[in-house]
Amino acid sequence: MPFNQMMGLPVELTLHSTGSGPELAVNPVRELKSLRQRVYNIKPQPLTPGINPLAGIRGDLLEIEAAIGVGNAKKISFDLRGVSVVYDAASQKISCMGCEALLAPRDGQISLHIYVDRASVDIYGGQGSLYMPMAQALSPENQSLKLSSGGGHADILSMTVYELKSAWQ
Q: What is the pLDDT of residue 22?
A: 93
CB-based burial, 103-137: b 16+ in 10 Å, e otherwise: beeeeebbbbbbbbbeebbbbbbbebbbbbbbebe
Structural domains in the chain, sorted by start: 35-164 (2.60.120.560)
Q: What is the pLDDT of residue 49?
A: 83
Written as tens digits, the pLDDT of the chain (169 aa) is 455 566 789 999 999 888 889 999 999 999 999 999 999 999 999 998 889 999 999 999 999 999 999 999 999 999 999 999 999 999 999 999 999 999 999 999 999 999 999 989 999 999 999 999 998 888 999 999 999 999 999 999 999 999 999 888 7
pTM of the model: 0.93
Q: What do you get for the CA distance between the two ends of the chain, in Å? A: 33
